[in-house]
Amino acid sequence: MDPRPIGVFDSGMGGLTVLHECLVTMPHEDFVYLGDGARLPYGPRPLDEIRRFALEIGNYLQAQGVKMVLVACNAATSAALPDLQEELEVPAVGVITPEAHAAVQATRNREVGLLATQATVSSGRYADLVRALDAGVRLHAIACPRLVPLIESDDPFGAETADAVREYAAPLKEAGVDTVILGCTHYPMIKPILQRVFGRDVTLVFSADETAREVAETLARKGIENDPSREGSYRFVTTGEPEVFRATGARFLQLPIAAVEHVELAELARVAA
């Protein structure tokens, strides 16, 4: 048995939707979640910059004594997962591969849409994975720069969000997609709006549950699971405002957040140096 926690990180709070599934799938494990609120959003940033942020956070979490790093951010997974796997001494997993696999399995007409941040679209990671799984599937990728700020705002279900979803969905509907990958961990928070715009005939893919299953399988394969008879704990760290994270984060996690610690960006850089 390995009692060390699992480290999870995202640019903000979207990764809490993945953490929720991990807490349900592995209730006996401990988790530490870092939200990089001071540099949110990652989506519009260059891939090299996101890679640097991800390596800083990965090294910080490793220094905190985690036994695995889960990159619960599509942009950071796209930009940095291979680098994290090469540099860190602990296993690192991301969120993209399970979604690409689920989309290829779900599509009936082999027309698949992708809604994601600009960084994730620019990386081409989803296109590469989908092509490797089924070269006959066509992927239609749309960058959605307005969605993350709207979802983390005080009015995520307002008219402005619905208008943005309609704008981004229009080219996918025109292409006749029957499956859409929600390629950002924030997007499941507005799934009712997305499903309303696309209709029931379009399958929305967000595989937090499959990502959690991959984490559990990796722990088992490497023999670093925790004692299954115990109840795990979770704690939170942010580079942004702790009170903002605590108040808004509970909406994403759908579980209580008692306290949030703050870490300075300079500390992340120092550990990574």
Tokens 């796209």 appear where? 78
Query: What is d(CA 30, CA 230) in angstroms, rounded to the nearest whole number?
Result: 10
Closest residue by Cα to residue 64 from 6, 141, 143, 131: 6
184 is catalytic: yes
Q: Which of 16, 54, 73, 75 is catalytic?
A: 73
144 is catalytic: no
Maximum Cα–Cα distance for the chain, whole Å? Answer: 52
Q: Are strands 179-183 and 111-116 parallel, antiparallel or unpaired?
A: parallel
- Enumerate residues 6+ apart whose C-beta is below 8 A from 85: 91, 92
Length of the chain: 273
Which letter does DSSP use for residue 188 in this model? G
Closest residue by Cα to residue 119 from 80, 154, 149: 80
Q: Which of 119, 184, 189, 197 is catalytic?
A: 184
Taking each helix axis from N to C terminus, what angle separates 96-106 and 74-87, rounded to the nearest 10 degrees? 130
> Cβ distance 65 to 88 under 8 Å?
no
Cis ω for the linkage preceding 41 (within 30 of 0): yes
Q: Are strands 31-35 and 6-10 parallel, antiparallel or unpaired?
A: parallel
Tokens 């379009």 appear where? 202
> Cβ distance 97 to 65 under 8 Å?
no
Q: Which residues participate in catalysis according to the annotation?
A: 73, 184
